Structure 1
Amino acid sequence: MGAWGPGLFSDDTACDVRDEYREMLEDGVEDDEATQRMLDSYAGALDDADEATSVWLALAVTQSKLGRLDPTVRDRAITAIDSGADLARWSDNPRLAAKRRDVLEKARAQLTGPQPQRKKVRRPSRHVTDLQPGDVLSYRASNSNLALLRVARIDDERHSVAPVLVALDLTGTHVPNQPELDSLADKPETPFRLDGSPIPAWASTSWRVAVFERIDYDTAGFQRAGHTIARRDDPAFHTRTYTSWQLLSRDLERNLTDASAMPNP
């Protein structure tokens, strides 16, 4: 199980349960059916002592917040809390164990207390980008240096249709002509260490970028700079970095103004 902290949803399984259950409701699945689908889907996890607690708690608390708490799910979650088995997983760290105890006490109070009215669950708005594969965007930093980012592909997910961008290996102040633009390679990433040292410039050179707070690329300082040829691996290109246009512009500003990222004169 991937737990990274004592919070109720600082856990991969708990997050998956919450998200999958909510998505069913967004799709119009009735309450009882959604609950049964979740129990069927996580039957294997429910047979595991550690994961079962995460499943019951995540499902019960999510249902409670939406005014849809199933009595059986509630009872199983409370039994899991009262058994003390969950706290045993944190016994080697008293500080985290104390925090987890508080989390469980609050969850128990929520599940046993008055429940909110049943809430309507609607699908969130789904932004669809107007960018296309091959489009090139530019971003000009405060020192006038440019970053050029090409659209490798368009990623169609449940909550957005967003571009996957790759930085082109160019440092300068002007957009090159078309032949040079088509010949540019993708910028390589700069390795970094997980030892607390500062993250270097260009630690990430590809991103899936979504609209957040209605800020799209044009309002975040990006401009269309042209179009370039596709690369052979673009249809299957994968990035590990998901971000927003605001955060990407901030990161590019740092990359372009960091002296260590600039080529030697």
Structure 2
Amino acid sequence: MGTWGTGLYADDTCCDVRDDYVQALKSGMPDDEAYRYILQRHSFVLDDPEFSYMVYFPLAETTWKYGRLNEELRSIALALLKQLEDCSSWGAGAKARKKVQQALEEKLLTPQPERKLVKFVPVKPRKIRTTAEVGSVFLIALPNGNKAALVLVGFLELEKSTDPVFSALCWQGEDNPSREELEPLTLHTVAFESGLGAMPHVGIIPRDERKSIMSDLQFLDYLSFPGLPFSPRNVVFTGLGRIAQDIQTFIDIHAKP
């Protein structure tokens, strides 16, 4: 997730909620089903009360815009707006954020537009980046010539693809590692810096959609570490070269003397 301002949609998650809801309508999903679908799809955000507004605010605003705001969602959003009246945590952006929330509250308290017709658009199937199983281990080449180990810990469904998410172990070496080398390190993984702080997981941004994002990784078919922790909210997506550099830097800093 990334945040770049105080606006309602100045955040990756809020944009995803809006876009996912509109796409659900375009796919022909009934109103109530589309509403429930968004809550289920973004349940990992709703699990944390501190961030639940990132789902309810954009969903309320978008359903209002399309004439589909139900009373349940209206009540939840208005209650959250009341709870979050104090915007001081936004620092220098507190005044701007307060205006955004006041505008949303005013909108939700006014009659919504007539129900807008949405043109049906067949949904294209998401691109499956890999069929590897959770726990699979891959090697990535580091800038210093060594290799590092990535463990596939889960998947995220993005707009057009289902992408693998990895944790990187604090190991580097010239040769392929053994289980004995890596297993003790499954509790000590690399932290990847992002705009929201250090993240335990990383996903790969494709450099060329015509090429598999897995093609530059070496699959170790003799190793598997299923069951590693996976938090869908704590993922940063970046290019493969940046991933390799970040792993090398982290290991060099935290390597034992």
Output the amino acid matched with 2:143. Answer: S
Q: Which runs of 5+ in 2 are unaligned?
A: 41-51
- Which position in structure 1 is the counterpart of 2:213? 217
Count of matched residue pairs:
219
1:144 alignment partner, SS class: coil
- Which position in structure 1 is the counterpart of 2:67? 69
Distance 1:163 1:93 in 2: 33
Higher relative contact order (CA 8 A, sep 6+): 2
Q: CA deviation at 1:71?
A: 7.9
% identical aligned pairs: 21
Give the CA RMSD over aligned residues.
5.3
Give the alignment's TM-score, normalised by structure 2: 0.54
Output the amino acid matched with 1:217. Answer: I
Contact 2:190–2:247 (CA under 8 A) maintained in structure 1? no
Structure number having the greater strand percentage: 2
Distance 2:28 2:256 in 1: 55
1:102 alignment partner, SS class: helix
Q: CA deviation at 1:171?
A: 1.9
Contact 1:175–1:225 (CA under 8 A) maintained in structure 2? no
Distance 1:154 1:170 in 2: 20
Matched, 1:181 2:178: yes
Q: CA deviation at 1:249?
A: 3.9
CA deviation string 1:177-231 (max 9, x = no partner):
xxx5233324313789xxxxx96xxx73xx3636557374346xx3225322334
Output the amino acid matched with 2:224. Answer: A
Which of 81, 99, 102 is the aligned partner of 1:102? 99
CA 184–163 in structure 1, closer or farther in 2 if over 3 Å, else same: farther
Contact 1:168–1:184 (CA under 8 A) maintained in structure 2? no
Q: CA deviation at 1:252?
A: 2.9
Structure with greater Cα Rg: 1
1:254 alignment partner, SS class: helix
Distance 2:89 2:224 in 1: 52
CA 103–143 in structure 1, closer or farther in 2 if over 3 Å, else same: same
Which of 219, 228, 239 is the aligned partner of 1:237? 228
- Which position in structure 2 is the counterpart of 1:260? 253
Distance 2:156 2:93 in 1: 39
Contact 1:255–1:261 (CA under 8 A) maintained in structure 2? no
| TM alignment of 1:18-29, pairs within 5 A | 18=18, 21-22=21-22, 24-25=24-25, 28-29=28-29
CA deviation string 1:6-36 (max 9, x = no partner):
543689x9789757744642652234x4588
Which of 244, 247, 251 is the aligned partner of 2:243? 251
- Which position in structure 2 is the counterpart of 1:132? 132
Distance 1:94 1:156 in 2: 32
CA deviation string 1:147-203 (max 9, x = no partner):
12244x55475865443434345322x233xxx5233324313789xxxxx96xxx7
Distance 1:140 1:154 in 2: 21
Q: Which runs of 5+ in 1 are unaligned?
A: 42-50, 193-197
Contact 2:90–2:97 (CA under 8 A) maintained in structure 1? no
1:184 alignment partner, SS class: helix
Distance 1:147 1:64 in 2: 49
Q: CA deviation at 1:256?
A: 1.0
Contact 2:27–2:120 (CA under 8 A) maintained in structure 1? no
Q: CA deviation at 1:141?
A: 2.4
| TM alignment of 1:76-225, pairs within 5 A | 88-90=85-87, 96-104=93-101, 107=104, 118=118, 120=120, 123=123, 125-133=125-133, 135-151=136-152, 155=155, 157=157, 160-172=161-173, 174-176=174-176, 180-186=177-183, 187=185, 188-189=188-189, 204=200, 207=201, 209=203, 214=209, 216-218=212-214, 222-225=216-219
CA 85–91 in structure 1, closer or farther in 2 if over 3 Å, else same: farther
Output the amino acid matched with 1:238. Answer: P
